[in-house]
């Protein structure tokens, strides 16, 4: 019986590594070019004008389409009794508790039910900020460190309340916090 040894496999060694690396570089290079072209397309004058138009609506941040219904429901359910605060001024935990508690600043309110509650929560959770572990949950905007950080030179009336916002933000009742009174328009 004549047994042949199976053919020996050559190790790919450095040549195989270089070949694989070359393929990876070419793939990333062409993908990178595509990505750069897409990014450039997003910065065309027409695209920039569209973003500017959205930002001029007065809200604090541009809201992606998938959160706009949540924002609308938030404003319909919360800003009918008082000025709707942007989610950024309170930590996420404050918003979570407010959505779950029928006792709302001395008033009994009807809580939102799903799916509206989930849409509002997704909006608030996405645009609010985390709370530090040792931080007490602030239920008033004036006691929120985020509110204070957004208003570093503002001397708040005592007691501060949501209607105080209008004194600096004349469009606050329309959820426009970008427009400021002349006193604050050019302040540092």
Give the C-alpha separation, 28 to 94, whole Å: 44
Give the C-alpha separation, 34 to 45, whole Å: 20
Instruction: Tell me the per-residue pLDDT of 75-113, one tens digit each, with 9 for 90 and over.
Output: 999 988 888 889 999 999 999 999 999 988 888 999 999
What pTM was estimated for this model as a whole?
0.64
Instruction: Tell me the per-residue pLDDT of 38-50, one tens digit each, with 9 for 90 and over.
Output: 434 443 333 333 3
Give the C-alpha separation, 124 to 128, whole Å: 6
Which whole number is the average pLDDT over 62-83? 91
Tokens of 101: 């508690």
Query: 108 phi and psi, to 5 degrees?
Result: -90, 125
């Amino acid at each position: 019986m004549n047994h042949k040894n199976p053919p020996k496999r050559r190790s790919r060694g450095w040549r195989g590594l270089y070949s694989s690396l070359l393929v990876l570089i070419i793939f990333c290079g062409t993908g990178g070019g595509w990505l750069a072209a897409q990014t450039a397309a997003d910065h065309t004058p027409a695209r920039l004008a569209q973003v500017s138009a959205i930002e001029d609506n007065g809200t604090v941040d541009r809201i992606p389409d998938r959160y706009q219904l949540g924002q609308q429901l938030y404003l319909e359910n919360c800003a009918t009794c008082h000025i709707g605060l942007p989610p950024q001024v309170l930590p996420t935990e404050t918003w979570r508790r407010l959505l779950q508690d029928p006792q709302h600043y001395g008033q009994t309110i009807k809580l939102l039910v799903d799916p509206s509650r989930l849409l509002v929560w997704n909006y608030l959770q996405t645009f609010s900020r985390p709370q530090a572990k040792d931080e007490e949950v602030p239920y008033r905007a004036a006691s929120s460190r985020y509110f204070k950080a957004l208003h570093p030179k503002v001397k708040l009336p005592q007691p501060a309340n949501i209607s105080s916002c209008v004194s600096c933000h004349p469009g606050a009742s329309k959820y426009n916090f970008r427009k400021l009174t002349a006193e604050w328009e050019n302040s540092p």
